[in-house]
């Protein structure tokens, strides 16, 4: 089997195509959740904290005080951006929770599809009993 035909078999298998679609949808979904966090949730959290944005929280490591993070970076100071870390941590927790809820919903739908098999018909039961009794004889 040539390498090209092996690659074709691999690439066109259902699992690979499903995975590719999942990755594309996951990337788009990540953008939606990031927008939810950055554009809707964090402004409310910042307002509750007195108008402070997490992304603007920092500590200058050179000991000087600067007006803002942008001013510290412009001055070339090394900065400890703990606000950006907090923001990324909140993003992660929210994204992980949303994905957990989606997987849980999908598992619930899958369980409903996997109902118990129907009981065998009377004819099948009767034939099974006849077979078993003949096997004993």
Q: What is the pLDDT of residues 85-123, one digit of tens each?
A: 988 888 788 878 878 888 888 888 877 766 666 778 888
- C-alpha distances (whole Å) from 120 to each of 113, 128, 133, 135 are 19, 10, 18, 20
Task: Measure the CA dihedral 122/124/129/133, to 10°.
Answer: 150
Give the pLDDT of residue 99: 80
SS3 60: strand
CA pair distance 72, 65, nearest whole angstrom:
8
pLDDT band at 14, cuts 50/70/90?
A: low
Would you state the torsion angle of the CA atoms of residues 38, 39, 40, 44, taken in this order, to the nearest 10 degrees? 70
* CATH dotted code for 3-136: 1.10.1200.120
| Size of the chain in residues | 137
**pLDDT on residue 38:** 80
Give the model's confidence band at 1: pLDDT under 50 very low, under 70 low, under 90 confident, else very high.
low
pTM greater than 0.75: no
Using the 8-state DSSP alphabet, how is residue 80 labeled?
E
Q: What is the pLDDT of residue 53?
A: 74
Question: In the prediction, which pLDDT does 116 show?
Answer: 62
- List, in order, residues 6 or more apart from 42 with CB less than 8 Å away: 53, 54, 87, 90
Residues 17-27, mean pLDDT to the nearest whole number: 81
- Please give the Cα distance from 36 to 30 (Å, whole number): 10
Residues 30-67 pLDDT 10s: 888 788 878 888 788 778 877 777 778 888 888 888 88
Q: What is the structure's pLDDT at 42? A: 78
């Amino acid at each position: 089997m040539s390498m090209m035909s092996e690659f074709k078999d691999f690439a066109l298998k259902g699992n690979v195509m499903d995975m590719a679609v999942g990755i594309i949808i996951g990337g788009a979904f990540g953008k939606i959740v990031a927008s939810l966090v950055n554009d809707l949730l964090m402004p409310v959290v910042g307002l509750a904290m007195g108008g402070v944005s997490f992304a603007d929280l920092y500590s200058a490591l050179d000991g000087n005080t600067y007006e803002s993070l942008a001013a510290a970076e412009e001055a070339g100071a090394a900065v400890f951006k703990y606000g950006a870390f907090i923001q990324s941590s909140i993003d992660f927790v929210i994204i992980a929770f949303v994905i957990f809820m989606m997987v849980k919903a999908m598992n619930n739908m899958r369980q409903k599809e996997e109902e118990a098999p129907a009981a065998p018909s009377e004819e099948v039961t009767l034939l099974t009993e006849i077979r078993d009794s003949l096997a004993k004889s």
